[in-house]
Amino acid sequence: MQNILDKAVEYGRNFISYGKTASYIPELSKVDPNQLGATIVTLQGEIYSSGDCGSTFSMQSVSKPVALMLAIADRGEDFVFKRVGMEPTGDAFNSIIRLETIKPSKPLNPMINAGAIAIDSFILGSNARERFRRLIEFFRHISGNDSLWYNPSIYRSENETGFRNRALANFMKDNDILIGDVEEVLELYFKQCSIEVNCQDIATIGSVLAAGGVSPITEQRIVDKQIANLVKTFMVTCGMYDASGEFAVRVGIPAKSGVGGGIMAAVPNRMGIGVFSPALDQKGNSTAGVKVLEYLSRELNLSIF
Ligand code: GLN
């Protein structure tokens, strides 16, 4: 396994130069684009790492499936999916157009920005502070990393420039989708996106999903099996945004990417994989990260199809 992972990372390096770090969040454009690391956590609890796996990065959209699990555990499926849809989109992750053209208005799915912002407004807590505390504790629990915290510079950078996300949130408030105070929900969302992790943290989250909600390391149940399976399904249909179809064909693993360069993958009954490389393609997915997963899928026969 170590040998195959090393080879996958070596292969992935060839594709770093095809991508660019995200620039719409100014702080992300300062990240060294030449990093590439990957970690595998198997359901037997073995851990394999290769490349720059000591690097940390912000979760960005990799956080969306995790927040979704908490919101469903808090409110139940019926409540959540009355307000947020289940359909993939052919539009960009931050697209605004469908919010107005679909009647009644509803974000298409919880993996695009509009859906994820709405999801954050469903998280329970008597005030903003408690909602954030519950969220970060859930992220710590599922990643097995008790010291997870958000990166304040990335949080500030996104908060100061998040005009489009503000527009999405305000539009959803006007349509009674988003619950509570718009600015408080955005604060929670931006903090969640800037949570700092390494490859092992997201590989561990992937392994919990792969194991149907139980941590292979602590053997503790973290979420219901039904919630874990539902989230994996969203990762297949919407996890790589408008590249989800091609990713399903070429790689065939439930996965979620983020503009920080992370990809969290969950291979049912086998392993979680965390990959990080910050240079992104046009759709916002890590160029080298996708190639590492493609290589691993081929060599280890990981496609679920
Ligand atoms: N924080 C980012 C945003 O809202 C997350 C997007 C992403 O990772 N694709 O724009």
- Per-residue pLDDT of 68-77, as tens digits, reads 999 999 999 9
CATH of the domain at 176: 1.10.1500.10
Residue 304 lies in a domain: no
Domain limits at 223? 2-60+195-299
Residues 170 and 72 in one domain: yes
CATH of the domain at 43: 3.40.710.10
Q: What three-state secondary structure class fits 124?
A: coil
Give me the half-sphere count of Cα atoms (radius 13 Å) on the Cβ side of residue 232: 27
Per the prediction, the chain carries an average pLDDT of 97
Which residue, 130, 160, 193, sits at the end of a domain?
193
Give the pLDDT of residue 266. 98
- Give nearest CA residue, ligand 1 atom 4: 113
Quick check: 1 and 302 in contact, CB under 8 A?
no
* Contacts for 48-53: CB closer than 8 Å, 24+ residues apart: 48/1, 48/2, 48/5, 49/5, 49/199, 49/200, 50/2, 50/5, 50/6, 50/8, 50/9, 51/9, 52/276, 53/198, 53/199, 53/200, 53/276
- Per-residue pLDDT of 255-278, as tens digits, reads 999 999 999 999 999 999 999 999
**Residue 180 DSSP one-character state:** S
pLDDT class of 104 with cuts at 50, 70, 90: confident
Task: Give the distance (Å) from ligand 1 centre to CA of residue 24.
Answer: 10
Residues 93 and 189 in one domain: yes
Residue 305 lies in a domain: no
Which is the closest atom of ligand 1 to the Cα of 116? 4
Residues 55 and 124 in one domain: no
Task: Give the distance (Å) from ligand 1 centre to CA of residue 60.
Answer: 5
Total structural domains in the chain? Answer: 2
- Per-residue pLDDT of 10-26, as tens digits, reads 999 999 999 999 999 99
Residues 148 and 56 in one domain: no
Residues 218 and 112 in one domain: no
Residues 273 and 184 in one domain: no
Query: Which residue type occupies 231?
Result: V
pLDDT class of 89 with cuts at 50, 70, 90: confident
Q: List, by residue number, the catalytic residues.
A: 61, 64, 189, 241, 259
End-to-end CA distance of the chain: give it in Å, rounded.
22
Per the confidence metrics, is the pTM higher than 0.95? yes
Report phi then psi at 34, rounded to 5: -85, 10
* Greater pLDDT, 11 or 95: 11
Distance CA 168, CA 190 (A): 14
Residues 77 and 178 in one domain: yes
